[in-house]
Structure 1
Amino acid sequence: MGLPDQKRRVILMVDDDEKLLSAVRRTLSSSFEFVTHTDGQSALDWLAANRDRTDLIIADLVMPTLDGISFLKQSAIIAPHVSRMLLSGNISSLSLREAISQAKVSRVLAKPVSVAVLKDAIERLLTTNVTVAAPVPGLSANMVTNAIDCGDFHPVLQPRFRASDFGLCGAEVLCRMPLLEREYGIDEIIHSCQNSPTINRLTSQLMAIMVDQAPRYSALLEDQARIAVNLSVFSLKTPEFFDLMLRFYEKMRMRGVSVSFEIPESQLLPNDLEMLAYASRLRERGIGLLIDDFGSGNNSLDLLRHEVFAGIKLDRDLVRGIMTDFLDDAFVEWIAQVCTKLGQSISAKGIENSKIAEKLQIYGITELQGYHFGSPLPLDQWEEAAFMPLRASAG
């Protein structure tokens, strides 16, 4: 995996292991321009004079004169725009929290680390984390509006399961637009209107259907009547829609259904103060807001520094990679520990087989979702399947 541009990125690396630094310089000099130091203070002096041309800072946790977290905290003051990576063996929960909240570390790699793994991590971190999806020819928000006018939309439910015992623990409500989906994928459809009033209209109409169906959710799921709903940042930041969300939440709660909301990481920016303010208002009311597709970009850890999110849902590609990619596997295991220490839930979607499910169970993932456990279904089909044994026994 190579970086898209030809200019070599400048990386400042501080480690008291001269053998590792030598191996990095020797092996990766064709890909990156490495500036290496064994002393933290001399590295800070260099950074102060070269902050504008530095692309990444890497530091070992344990160093003789200045520990890695202290070094990275000072480097964040000198060059706040530069991403930071921490190399660590065992790290305490206190040090981990300090690394995330104060040193603003973007990635943690467990030592010992090979040069190949380090190279892969560097490339992932330096690759642009927010990719703007190209518009789909012919698809527009107006087409979605027309589909809504024609009634071409309905909710489906995908079951969610506890990772601890694989027991049913709720469902996620997803939107389907059958006629429009003959030509476009549902992700493309939602993306085409996610920053326009159309997304507010679509989500509000789905929520109205959910309020009507709430007693059926409660009967079907009983004590596990917990429903997750997808949300756009545009909707969250619209005052009228935000008030509608609060009323929707209360109506569902009065009908015995607990609701949480999920926003894709690609729509969330750590410096979006307006978004954070609305998210904080939800948290104050005890309403869960989760980061969906977590790990799909480089904003992941920056977002966790804000104490407004109730948890995360791991990106399906990241989940799929734990069986074949060492870095994905290590990151999922580590972020599960982070969320546990921060008191946040962590779920995973895209579960394709039992081996992935069992591995995530060991890592301490809270909930699982995917085709291995159950496909999205309209409510009446789910009810028919759930109550069929009861009708058979009654007959």
Structure 2
Amino acid sequence: MPNQKLPRVLILDDESAITEIIASSLDFMNLPTKEKIHDPLQLHNLDLSHYDVMFLDLMMPNMDGIEVMRLLSEKAPQIQVVLMSGMDTNVLNTAKDLACESHLRVLGHLNKPFRPKQVIEIIQLYSEYSRSKADKTSIAAIPFSLGELRNALNNKKLQLFYQPQFDLKTLQLVGFEALCRLQIDNKIIYPDQFIQLAENNQLIHPLTQQVVQLAFQEFATLTSATHSGISLSLNISGHDLSDLEFPDYVSRLADKYNIPKQQINFEVTETQAVENMRFGLDVISRLRLKGFKISIDDYGTGYAMLDQIKRLPASELKIDRTFVKSISEKGKSVVLVRKILEMAQELNMEVVAEGIEDELTADWLQKMGCEIGQGYFFAKPMPLQQVSDFYRELLATA
């Protein structure tokens, strides 16, 4: 796994055969640390801050896996856990929910007996997740205060850029994703630099409302510049999933601007959807009942399990760019993307791949059955005034 962070792994299972299978599966990956223990009481003598991933058996003498997770939550919350059990999947699912409630990240799960290949795939997930986090934090933060953020919102300093989405089979333009930017002191501020500040200071709801209102205002121009069947995707925060008035607000706004609701797609990350499942099911269901579409964004980087995704009335899955970027590197992420596509097909959901940067990746995805793609290979995000010229050039080269 070149150019990726290699995790330091701790393997805990009272069966030595299991620890040997896992350890041997990881040997060729040259991990910096690979520790095996068989008695959970040994954890008290280890420096747990030294580890990134723990393969954790749920059924052990002296101290079961639930008790171990309690210990990790208190002393080593940075460790991502891989849950293992020979019991039915309901036990694994319950343990996973408990881990999430304890603010532990579940990297994956293994039903015994398992194959070595499954162990390797889980470690690859860790590497992709680490790279995704690095990508998202690589942009240098532009210092600005909470007051400046509040003033920017009050003064309507928000601007939308639109990134085209294409049918990978026909290469026809089918939609856009609206990406918000803020202008503070004549500097363009990107979402990675202000979303969390807004969420932590009760500003996310007015921010989302401004994004939706501006997007709906500009939708008529967007369709006249391209074609009437164009779709528009909008990102919403997990906090918006707890706003029970949100479906009524966006429905009234769509009616005001005469927007076909089936052409609007609200994107929410899988982690946000699961963390807000109680209210999220309410809000997402009502958005769907009103005619809007729902997309599960950044799929593959969070901790949602299939049964949880099935509970959400989503119409689309969006594969995270970290998997898409490495799909052509000798099949590193091919197996993961293929599984997502197979799952989506079974659930009758469309799949969008973001972050496509070259023709080879686009071809790979199309051959595997991915319907829609976006990325720099097709076009960068652009302000509304550039959309018309972009579409004319697109038609001229078709």
Question: With structure 2 as the length reference, what TM-score do the two structures score?
Answer: 0.70
Whether 1:72 aligns to 2:72 is no
Partner of 2:154: 149
Q: 1:236·1:242 contact (CA, 8 Å) conserved in 2?
A: no
What SS is found at the alignment partner of 2:288? helix
Offset from partner CA, 1:155-193 (integer Å, 9 cap, x none): 221111112222110111121224467375432123321
Partner of 1:217: 222
What SS is found at the alignment partner of 2:12? strand
Q: 2:354·2:373 contact (CA, 8 Å) conserved in 1?
A: yes
Unaligned 5+ runs, structure 1: 36-42, 60-67, 84-104
Q: 1:270·1:299 contact (CA, 8 Å) conserved in 2?
A: no
Q: How many residues align?
A: 348
Identify if the C-alpha distance between structure 1 residues 374 and 224 changes in structure 2 by more than 3 Å, giving closer, same or farther: farther
Identify if the C-alpha distance between structure 1 residues 257 and 222 changes in structure 2 by more than 3 Å, giving closer, same or farther: farther
Q: 1:56 aligns with which of 69, 82, 89?
A: 82
User: Percent identity over the alignment?
Assistant: 21
The 2-side partners of 1:390 and 1:354 are apart by: 19
Q: 1:106·1:302 contact (CA, 8 Å) conserved in 2?
A: no
Q: 1:140·1:193 contact (CA, 8 Å) conserved in 2?
A: no
The 1-side partners of 2:296 and 2:394 are apart by: 37
Q: 2:195·2:204 contact (CA, 8 Å) conserved in 1?
A: yes
Offset from partner CA, 1:240-288 (integer Å, 9 cap, x none): 4442112123345546872111123453334631222211222233321
Identify if the C-alpha distance between structure 1 residues 188 and 237 changes in structure 2 by more than 3 Å, giving closer, same or farther: same
The 2-side partners of 1:243 and 1:322 are apart by: 40
Aligned 1:172-187 pairs, distance under 5 A: 172-179=177-184, 182=187, 184-187=189-192
Q: Aligned Cα RMSD in Å?
A: 4.3
The 2-side partners of 1:390 and 1:320 are apart by: 27
Whether 1:193 aligns to 2:198 is yes
The 2-side partners of 1:133 and 1:227 are apart by: 27
Partner of 2:368: 363
Whether 1:31 aligns to 2:34 is yes
Q: 1:276 aligns with which of 274, 281, 292?
A: 281
Whether 1:293 aligns to 2:298 is yes
Identify if the C-alpha distance between structure 1 residues 260 and 390 changes in structure 2 by more than 3 Å, giving closer, same or farther: closer
Identify if the C-alpha distance between structure 1 residues 302 and 47 changes in structure 2 by more than 3 Å, giving closer, same or farther: farther
Question: With structure 1 as the length reference, what TM-score do the two structures score?
Answer: 0.71
The 1-side partners of 2:25 and 2:386 are apart by: 57
Partner of 1:158: 163
Superposed displacement of residue 148, structure 1: 2.8
Partner of 2:120: 117
Partner of 1:202: 207
Identify if the C-alpha distance between structure 1 residues 287 and 47 changes in structure 2 by more than 3 Å, giving closer, same or farther: farther
Unaligned 5+ runs, structure 2: 28-32, 39-56, 70-80, 101-107
Q: 1:263 aligns with which of 260, 265, 268?
A: 268
Partner of 2:255: 250
The 2-side partners of 1:125 and 1:376 are apart by: 24
Offset from partner CA, 1:120-166 (integer Å, 9 cap, x none): 25856998x99998995844443222123344222221111112222
Identify if the C-alpha distance between structure 1 residues 364 and 182 changes in structure 2 by more than 3 Å, giving closer, same or farther: same
Q: 1:318 aligns with which of 317, 323, 326?
A: 323
Whether 1:351 aligns to 2:356 is yes
Identify if the C-alpha distance between structure 1 residues 377 and 369 changes in structure 2 by more than 3 Å, giving closer, same or farther: same
Q: 2:354·2:374 contact (CA, 8 Å) conserved in 1?
A: yes
Q: Which amino acid aligns with 2:12?
A: V
Q: 2:226·2:388 contact (CA, 8 Å) conserved in 1?
A: no
The 2-side partners of 1:256 and 1:282 are apart by: 9
Q: 1:160·1:172 contact (CA, 8 Å) conserved in 2?
A: yes
Worse overlay, 319-328 or 343-352:
319-328
The 2-side partners of 1:198 and 1:82 are apart by: 29
Q: 1:160·1:169 contact (CA, 8 Å) conserved in 2?
A: yes
Q: 1:57·1:82 contact (CA, 8 Å) conserved in 2?
A: no
Q: 1:24·1:115 contact (CA, 8 Å) conserved in 2?
A: no
Q: 1:270·1:303 contact (CA, 8 Å) conserved in 2?
A: no
The 2-side partners of 1:3 and 1:147 are apart by: 41
The 2-side partners of 1:281 and 1:182 are apart by: 38
Superposed displacement of residue 227, structure 1: 0.8
Q: Which amino acid aligns with 1:56?
A: V
Superposed displacement of residue 365, structure 1: 1.3
Superposed displacement of residue 349, structure 1: 0.8
Identify if the C-alpha distance between structure 1 residues 33 and 250 changes in structure 2 by more than 3 Å, giving closer, same or farther: farther
